[in-house]
Chain A
Amino acid sequence: MSNKPTHKTSSGELAGFVRLNEGIKGVVLIAFQINIMALNAILLAHRAGEVALGFGVISKELRSLSVELTGLMQELSNDAYLAVNLISDLLRQERRYRLLKKATDLVVNPSPALRDVMVRREEEFSLITHRVRDVRLRLLDRLEDARKLCQFGTAISRSAKIEAAYGREYGRALAEVSQEFDQKIQNILPSIEALCTGMQRR
């Protein structure tokens, strides 16, 4: 079991995935707020008519972005749940392995059948370790997708600011909404970065 992490590292890993899940909840909340804001912005653009056509298109894009981000976070959450299950299993296996190893060491001449049990334990352990690694890589891929999505969101929220400038008598209201869009998107990015860093560190 040379690649066997200690109980301490598995526990740390478990805590990392639990923290990830908490971070995801924060992003989902902001995505929900963007969705509501975008819906209101679409209605505002509709009232403003011709002068806010571009703003309306951008608001729809932001709404789609929030839906996509929520979906992505749901997938991340599912993976985090899977990882927590796998690591819990790993911790259980570690404990069993430790006790079986201790028993084997205490027996003067361990039977071949007992040695087979230990080999099976090691194989099982290795299999779960690989599965945890695969889930972590998948999580990192999804977090990268989320980061790109937020970068796209930053770009279109800036376009919303430009479009707001053409809003004439609705200009001020549209500018306020576009400012809020920008703030929300800016709030998500550090959360995503923190989640990426947290996962890469392990």
Chain B
Amino acid sequence: MKTAQTIYQEGSHRWVVIARDPSKPDCVIDTNEYLISREGDNLLTDPGGSEIFPAVFAALSTIVDPMSIRYLFASHQDPDIISSLGLWLECNPDIRCYVSRLWSSFIPHFGGDENSLVAIPDEGMSMPLGSGQIEYVPAHFLHSSGNFHLYDPDARILFSGDVGAALMPPEEDELFVRDFDKHIRHAEGFHRRWMGSTEAKLDWCERASRMKIDMLCPQHGSIYQGDDVMRFINWFAELPVGLSTFRHRR
């Protein structure tokens, strides 16, 4: 089963990561879900696919009542991100799911409708969570054409979806990056293939480098913290991506 671990806490404001499911089927990619909780307002980022719903739900129940989740945020439209939406809505029909406007008529294939989905405009937006605010930061084409990250300025945490993700062997599957050089090898192939636009990548790196980020939390793999955050941004800015790096093209 997945486990829930608090990675930030300041009063009632906290971030909890739900990660590492040793019992998941091998055919399903492991994912990180993040619970952002503030004065009783609960938001879950990229709640995951249907098949891992029971594990996420159970791990979440060790921290909060999962029925109290009020908001979901989907960084983009992939099934490992949001195909569990129908199940979450079964539990709480009042849940609102924030997602790029591009996907508001695609995601209902997984569940939900115009009432349960809140379309984020291309330029992004802020929303209140408890006494604070969170920001939906544009990250279009990284990798999805309608893609957002979530920034919590008070916690100084950026949930970066697939950016920063790494596909790690089980023996190196640490929750936090310990050895950047060793870790980043597991991120390289993924970023080269999935992040197709150099222009989008550089635009994101430029904006991210100006943000105050203590933790960069991807949807797969380990969390970057401290100096590793800027190391990652610099590494990503330098990484050749896109079609020119695609060796198997005809």
Query: Which residues does A use to contact B, with CB under 8 Å?
Result: 95-96, 99-100, 102-103, 105-108, 111, 113-114, 117, 121
**In the complex, how many angstroms separate the beta carbon of B23 from the nearest chain A beta carbon?**
10
- Let me know if B65 and A111 touch, CB within 8 A: yes
Measured between alpha carbons, how far is A114 from B55 in the docked complex, in Å? 15
* Binary per-residue interface labels of chain B (17-55) against chain A in the complex, 1 for a CB within 8 Å, 0 otherwise: 000000000000000000000000000000000110111
- Let me know if A107 and B87 touch, CB within 8 A: no
Measured between alpha carbons, how far is A114 from B92 in the docked complex, in Å? 9
- Report whether over half of chain B's contact residues are helix, strand or loop; otherwise say mixed: helix
Tell yes or no: B61 within 8 A of A by CB. yes
**B residues near A117, Cβ cutoff 8 Å:** 90-91
Tell yes or no: B67 within 8 A of A by CB. yes
**B residues near A99, Cβ cutoff 8 Å:** 50-51, 53-54, 87
Interface residues of B in 200-239 (CB under 8 A from A): none
Q: Looking across the interface, which residue of chain A has its beta carbon closest to that of B91?
A: A117
**In the complex, how many angstroms separate the beta carbon of B178 from the nearest chain A beta carbon?**
30
Q: Looking across the interface, which residue of chain A has its beta carbon closest to that of B59?
A: A106
Name the one of A100, A111, A113 contacting B87, with C-beta atoms under 8 angstroms: A100
Q: How large is the interface on B (under 10, 10 to 19, 20 to 34, 35 or more residues)?
A: 10 to 19
Query: Which residues does B use to contact A, with CB under 8 Å?
Result: 1, 50-51, 53-55, 57-58, 61-62, 65-67, 86-87, 90-91
- Let me know if B51 and A114 touch, CB within 8 A: no
Q: Looking across the interface, which residue of chain A has its beta carbon closest to that of B57?
A: A103
| A–B pairs, 11, beta carbons within 8 Å | A96-B90, A99-B54, A100-B54, A100-B87, A102-B54, A103-B54, A103-B57, A107-B57, A108-B61, A108-B62, A111-B65
Name the one of B1, B53, B67 contacting A113, with C-beta atoms under 8 angstroms: B67
- Let me know if A106 and B54 touch, CB within 8 A: yes
**B residues near A108, Cβ cutoff 8 Å:** 61-62
- Let me know if A111 and B54 touch, CB within 8 A: no
**A residues near B61, Cβ cutoff 8 Å:** 106-108
**B residues near A107, Cβ cutoff 8 Å:** 57-58, 61, 66
**In the complex, how many angstroms separate the beta carbon of B113 from the nearest chain A beta carbon?**
15
Measured between alpha carbons, how far is A167 from B65 in the docked complex, in Å? 87
Measured between alpha carbons, how far is A54 from B1 in the docked complex, in Å? 80
Q: Given the known A-B contacts A96-B86, A107-B61, are A114 and B91 also in contact in the complex, defined by CB atoms under 8 Å?
A: yes
Q: Looking across the interface, which residue of chain B has its beta carbon closest to that of A98?
A: B54
**In the complex, how many angstroms separate the beta carbon of A197 from the nearest chain B beta carbon?**
37
**In the complex, how many angstroms separate the beta carbon of B26 from the nearest chain A beta carbon?**
18
**In the complex, how many angstroms separate the beta carbon of A104 from the nearest chain B beta carbon?**
8
List 4 tightest A-B contacts by C-beta distance, closest first. A106-B58, A102-B54, A103-B57, A103-B54
Q: Looking across the interface, which residue of chain A has its beta carbon closest to that of B61?
A: A107
Measured between alpha carbons, how far is A15 from B169 in the docked complex, in Å? 41
- Let me know if B50 and A100 touch, CB within 8 A: no
**A residues near B87, Cβ cutoff 8 Å:** 96, 99-100, 103
**A residues near B57, Cβ cutoff 8 Å:** 103, 106-107
- Let me know if B90 and A106 touch, CB within 8 A: no
Measured between alpha carbons, how far is A96 from B86 in the docked complex, in Å? 8
